[in-house]
Amino acid sequence: MLSRKQKHVLLKFFSMFSVVRGYNILIIVIAQYLSSIYILAYNRPLGEVIFDLNLLMLVLASSATIAGGYIINNFYDSEKDLINRPQKSMLDRLVSQNTKLVFYFVLNFVSVIMASYVSFRAVIFFSLYIFGIWFYSHKLKKLPVVGNLTSAILTITPFFAVFIYYKNFETVIFVHAMFLFLIIAMRELTKDLENIKGDLALNYKTVPIVYGEKTSKIMLTIFAAFTLIPAYLLIFNFHIGKMNYFFYSSVILLFIFILLLWKSKTKTHYLILHNILKFIIVAGVFSILLIDVDLVLKRIL
């Protein structure tokens, strides 16, 4: 049996894990490595990619920066989250705001140190990334449209660190990035619909509050239509192996998403829509393996 002190420490650990959204960071780490192996550095030996210390440092720097970003975002949104996510908010509050800020500065410092192992340009990249996350949380998040697009850009930024490192400028990479950007932008707008109550109480100028729910739904429908373009290109114009099944499935899910969207009225409805988009993103990460199911064996042999 755990002592009272041990239970308290364990609760604080889970609280901090909740604040930095460790599960999201794990998915991003997996995505960075899979995209490096199968897309960005597909022509390099497998061992060279997996055991590349520069890549490891970029991935760890990304993880530390993202974790810091979640902390500062949690810091600014603590009152709103108390309305929108009361249970999660109560768990997050087990760690004091001062402790969170200390972790924020430590994580950002560690991120820059790790980036310095790769190059001075990496230091500049992550310094700007850290500033961008802070500026978004402090100012841009409360602005309609601008906040949504900025959040989507910041979410895919860690992949650009690896993209720049490998200097692979093939068109297929930009098409993949466009599909991911549109899905993330849709998720951010759906979150705004889900969190109307808290945003309204704290005067956040989100799209649903400024322009209305109907306008938000029209925008989501347009975004969904635009995702058909990169999906079509990836299926019919590029060699992506069996990953085309993922894009076929995504198109079907987006069609279901739009049908449900126009019938949605409550927070629960929007939460379901949000989870559909999250599923597409996570499934997309692991479907990278389908680009060439024999790729790992071929590169080992």
Q: Is residue 275 part of a domain?
A: yes
Residue finishing a domain among 132, 151, 167: 167
Percent of the chain with pLDDT over 70: 96
- Using 50, 70 and 90 to split pLDDT, how confident is the model at 176? very high
**Tens-digit pLDDT profile for residues 107-143:** 999 999 999 999 999 999 999 999 999 999 988 888 8
- What's the pLDDT at 295? 59
Taking Cα atoms as reference points, which of 32, 30, 31, 37 lies closest to residue 300? 37
Same domain, 174 and 159: no
Structural domain boundaries enclosing 105: 11-167
Higher pLDDT, 48 or 5: 48
**pLDDT confidence tier of residue 294, bands split at 50, 70 and 90:** low
Of residues 143 and 218, more confidently modeled = 218
In angstroms, the CA 172 to CA 275 distance is: 27
Asked whether residue 91 carries a pLDDT value surpassing 80, the answer given is no
Q: Which amino acid is located at 60 in the chain?
A: L
User: 140 with 182, same domain?
Assistant: no
Q: Is 6 a member of any domain?
A: no
Which of 2-11, 51-60, 166-175 reaches the highest mean pLDDT? 51-60
The residue among 167, 201, 220 that closes a domain is: 167
Choose among 23, 29, 21, 289: nearest CA to 159.
29
Q: Does 189 reside within a domain?
A: yes
Look up residue 190 and give its two tokens: 């759906």
Tens of pLDDT along 233-286? 999 999 898 999 999 999 999 999 999 999 999 999 999 999 999 999 999 999
Q: Quick one: 207 and 118 in the same domain?
A: no
pLDDT at site 80 = 78
The whole-angstrom separation of Cα 46 and Cα 296 is 7
The answer to whether position 2 is within a domain reads no
- Tally of domains within the chain: 2
Residues 238 and 147 placed together within one structural domain of the fold? no
Q: Report CA Rg, the chain.
A: 20
Q: What pTM was estimated for this model as a whole?
A: 0.91
Please give the pLDDT value at position 105: 95
pLDDT bin (cut points 50, 70, 90) of residue 2 is low
Q: Please work out, in degrees rounded to the nearest 5, the angle formed at the alpha carbon of residue 196 by the alpha carbons of 194 and 202.
A: 135
pLDDT, the chain, mean: 90
